């Protein structure tokens, strides 16, 4: 499990990729930065992200409601009807982030242009429907991966 600590002093700058499993408890409309107002249906979403260093710090930031909104995912995660429930992560380079997004595109509904302004992917956020009956372990192109319930 990725330890969530309050101080990063002395930690190695772990880089990697992650998949957040996100629960949306009701249909909501959220203004997502330059994307504008988007409708999110009730259900489960998977968001694919990466951190060039301090992966643990990035994940911990996503789990906070009180934060400056910088990335598309910040706007969604700050809504009261939204909660991250699980995180899958591993040490990897950014190329694997887009491979996972392409794998999700084959089995889930993309939120077009969400979270992918720095690549050519269709999306990095995907609606899985009412439940995440998904073996995320199969999405990762290399092993091992780690998982934490939140």
Within-domain flag for 91: yes
| Nearest by Cα to 18 from 41, 52, 44 | 52
pLDDT at 78 over 80: yes
Residue 85 belongs to what H/E stretch?
strand 82-90
Q: What is the pTM of this model?
A: 0.85
Instruction: Over range 38-53, report the average pLDDT.
Output: 95
pLDDT at 9 over 60: no
Within-domain flag for 142: yes
Q: How many domains does the chain have?
A: 1
Within-domain flag for 30: yes
What would the pLDDT profile of 17-45 be if each residue is shown by its tens digit? 999 999 999 999 999 998 999 999 999 99
Note down the domain range covering 57.
16-149
């Amino acid at each position: 499990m990725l330890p969530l600590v309050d101080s990063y002093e002395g930690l190695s700058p772990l880089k990697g990729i992650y998949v957040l499993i996100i629960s949306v408890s009701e249909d909501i409309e959220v203004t997502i930065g330059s994307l504008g107002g988007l409708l999110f249906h009730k259900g489960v979403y998977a968001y694919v992200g990466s951190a060039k260093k301090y992966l643990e710090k990035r994940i911990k930031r996503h789990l906070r409601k009180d934060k400056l909104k910088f990335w598309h995912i910040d706007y969604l995660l700050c809504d009261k009807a939204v909660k991250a429930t699980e995180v899958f992560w591993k040490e990897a380079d950014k190329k694997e982030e887009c491979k996972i997004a392409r794998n999700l595109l084959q089995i889930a509904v993309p939120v077009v242009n969400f979270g992918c302004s720095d690549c050519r992917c269709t999306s990095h956020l995907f609606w899985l429907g009412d439940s995440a009956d998904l073996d995320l372990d199969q999405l990762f192109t290399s092993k091992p991966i780690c998982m934490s319930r939140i």
